[in-house]
Structure 1
């Protein structure tokens, strides 16, 4: 079954995209309708800072779920790239907590650590990551975590928050790190990288992971899967990720859709 199979496509959930990105400004509604036609029943749009969170929440209110549109859930949080620009962490956390009380908000995210680009000082990233995990634990929300070249530190950190569950977005760690995350009750986010020619290591990790602990994502407009690599990604392409995962596990795509959608609903409480 392909991304263009329309009403016959299996029900899918895109657990991570950035609907507020300016690359969707000209055709955001069309993009969502195209996703629904490809079987996407719900999406989780993750924010990167407070302005992004407010705008993403406004978009979720604007686009109501229906026969032609997927349900739009929201994650509110401060990305590690933006950690150094927050100013008052206390004020930011108070604002996030107010936003998290809105019914469309299903998670805290995108939060985490990025030691590849280091756009924010690592100690500031760490402090904000921990404070947002503490918020999630206190209000009972799952989290969407970014970990780039920082998996050991991320894993050590989330161990200190045993009541928090979440997804390691765009997981690119090794098998041992995947097993550690799964043992903590976490989920792994699987996206377009699974289709990349040079992603054998990721495929090896994903092939060993239980499907009921994987969730599908696009990270749109980033990380478009093959054959769209290098162009704007969009939530409809999560169907291509499902197909790649089905081939990897030698299962029908309908089975992969069922298991990953169930995992997304259980973790994020998405309704459709």
Structure 2
């Protein structure tokens, strides 16, 4: 039995300077692999370097939707980067109406470009959505998204059903453990076993009982334990199917060959 952190930011402050400790903590909690997420042109080079240097880490290529001024990747550049054996997804991309206001046509275009790159490369798209549920679903549908995951799920069952109907996976972060997250908890009970992932979004959103502290991949175990209890399952059951789902969605990832407890 082991877990995979399907979304973290290993190049961010608080993690990048202590990767040896981070990886040791992962192993101690049977978190055997992690997906390091790109959020900018600069960060892609950082997460790729971490993935190249560490067998248990893979990465993605993409630009986060939170800044209009961010340097863009062209679709062709993302498709080319996707040929690297350690690049297994496109994103993080999507829509964010919490941090961004006004005319957001640029955000919609960036999202569409990432979906096109994902479709052309055959890789899944990692979707960020905040206060933009209906437009997120609309663009995913209009762009004929082939495969992907709604990361750090923070919506309700209706959104979960719509995303599942589009063929997407749903990933739960430490937010699901928060007391003020009943709608997310209901969605976590609703999502079928074959479409669920777990993640940290480290160094953000540490789960209970680590809330308020910097998050790290090892803490995905707390989220997994909480969701398993919520669903009336054992941790071993949830770990088994979320790991299988990760390998199905991110098909380029080589399953962990090391010793698992």
Aligning the two structures, in what range does the TM-score lie when normalised by the shorter sequence? Answer: over 0.9
The number of residues matched between the two structures is 254
When normalised by structure 2's length, the TM-score is 0.93
Is residue 2:73 matched to residue 1:82?
no
CA separation of 1:16/1:128 partners in 2, compared to 1, >3 Å: closer, same or farther? same
Give the match for residue 27 of structure 2. 36
Distance 1:160 1:73, change over 3 A: same
The residue aligned with 1:25 is 16
Q: Specify the alignment match of 2:219 in structure 1.
A: 237
Between the aligned partners of 2:15 and 2:197, the Cα distance in structure 1 is 23
Asked if the contact 1:113/1:154 (under 8 Å) is kept, the reply is yes
Please state if 1:208 is matched with 2:193.
Answer: no
Report what 1:54 is aligned to. Answer: 45
Equivalent in the alignment of 1:259: 241
Q: Are residues 1:166 and 2:148 paired? A: yes
Separation of aligned partners in 1, 2:43 and 2:87: 13
SS in structure 1 opposite 2:57?
A: strand
CA deviation map 1:42-81 (0-9, x unaligned)? 11110101110111001111112xxxxxx11101100001
Q: What residue in structure 2 maps to residue 197 of structure 1?
A: 179
1:84-123 matches, within 5 Å, as: 84-86=69-71, 89=72, 92-118=74-100, 122-123=104-105
Deviation at 1:120, TM superposition (A): 8.7
2: CA distance, partners of 1:53 / 1:38: 27
Cα deviation code 1:217-240 (max 9, x no counterpart): 000000000111111000000111
CA contact (8 A) 1:50 1:96 kept: no
- How well do the aligned residues superpose, as a CA RMSD in angstroms? 1.5
Q: Alpha-carbon deviation of 1:211?
A: 2.0
Are 1:153 and 2:135 matched, yes or no?
yes
Unmatched segments (≥5 aa) in structure 1 = 1-9, 65-70
Instruction: Give SS of 1:14's match.
Output: strand
Structure 2 partner of 1:73: 58
Q: Cα distance 1:120–1:17, how it changes in 2: closer, same or farther (>3 A)?
A: farther
Query: 1: CA distance between counterparts of 2:75 and 2:130?
Result: 23
- How far off its partner does 1:213 sit? 0.8
Of 36, 59, 63, the residue aligned with 1:45 is 36
d(CA) in 2 for partners of 1:32 and 1:93? 33
Q: Give the deviation of 1:163 after TM superposition.
A: 4.8
- Aligned counterpart in structure 1 of residue 4 of structure 2, from 8, 13, 16: 13
C-alpha distance in structure 2 between counterparts of 1:138 and 1:260, whole Å: 26
The Cα shift of 1:161 comes to 3.1
Specify whether residues 204 and 145 from structure 1 end up closer, same or farther in structure 2 by C-alpha distance, changes over 3 A only: same
Matched with 2:121 is: 139
Give the equivalent residue in structure 2 for 1:4: none
Q: Matched residues in 2 for 1:39 and 1:103: separation?
A: 24
